[in-house]
Chains A and B, each alone.
Chain A
Amino acid sequence: DAGVTQSPTHLIKTRGQQVTLRCSPKSGHDTVSWYQQALGQGPQFIFQYYEEEERQRGNFPDRFSGHQFPNYSSELNVNALLLGDSALYLCASSLPGRDNEKLFFGSGTQLSVL
C-alpha cells in the first residue's frame, strides 16, 4: 500500500518564476493538506482540499493556490516566487471521520528559490 507520494523531490527556481508541486494521497484518503516548513522551524498550514474544493486556508498570500482532482491527488502552485518561498513543502492526507485528525505525510518537495 503506497503512502503519500510527492513530486518532484527537489526543485530549483529563480525569483519571479512559477512552480507546481504534486501530491498523491494514501490509498483510500480523500482529504489533502499542504504545509510549508522553513529550515529549522515547524510546518505551517497552507490549505486543505476536500471534494475538489479548498476547505480551509492558512495565512498565505494568493500567490499560493491549489487544486484537487477527482482521483483526490492535488497540486500546489506558487506564482511570482520570492527568496522566502524556499522551504520544504509537505503534503498530508487523511480519512474522513473521527480519525481524520491524524495526518499521513509525504517526504516533501525541497524548493530552493535563487
Chain B
Amino acid sequence: SQQGEEDPQALSIQEGENATMNCSYKTSINNLQWYRQNSGRGLVHLILIRSNEREKHSGRLRVTLDTSKKSSSLLITASRAADTASYFCATVHNAGNMLTFGGGTRLMVKP
C-alpha cells in the first residue's frame, strides 16, 4: 500500500504561473524526496528534505516539510511547458533507502 497521498491528482496551469503540489504521509520519516517522471518512464530525483529540516530550495523548486502535520509541499515557480510531467513524493522511514511513493500529481503547463 502507498504511504503518501498527493494533492491535487492533476493540475493544469499556464506557463509562467507557479505550481504547488502537496503530499501527506502517515508515519514518522527519516526524509522525504520529490521525483519527476516524464511519460511513464524513469523517475528523476529533484530534492531531498530531512526530518529536521523545514525548507529547501533548488533552482525554481521550493520544498517545505511540516512533520507535526506529516505533510510536505513542492512549489515550482515560473513554470515552463517543459515542466509538464508527473511529480511524486516519496518517504524514507528507516535507516535504509526504501522509498514509499504517493500516487503522484500530473502537472500540465500550457504554453
Contact = CB atoms under 8 A, between A and B. Distances in A.
A35 B98 CA distance: 10
Assign chain B's interface to a size class.
Answer: 20 to 34
A88 B40 CA distance: 8
Interface string A43-80: 11100100000011011000000000000000000000
Interface in B9-66: 30-31, 33, 35, 40-45, 48
Residue in B44, B96, B103 with the greatest tally of chain A CB atoms within 10 Å: B96
A55 to B, nearest CB: 7
A43 B2 CA distance: 9
B103 A56 contact: no
Given A40-B103, A56-B98, A58-B98, 6 more contacts: A33-B97, A33-B99, A41-B104, A101-B31, A101-B33, A102-B33
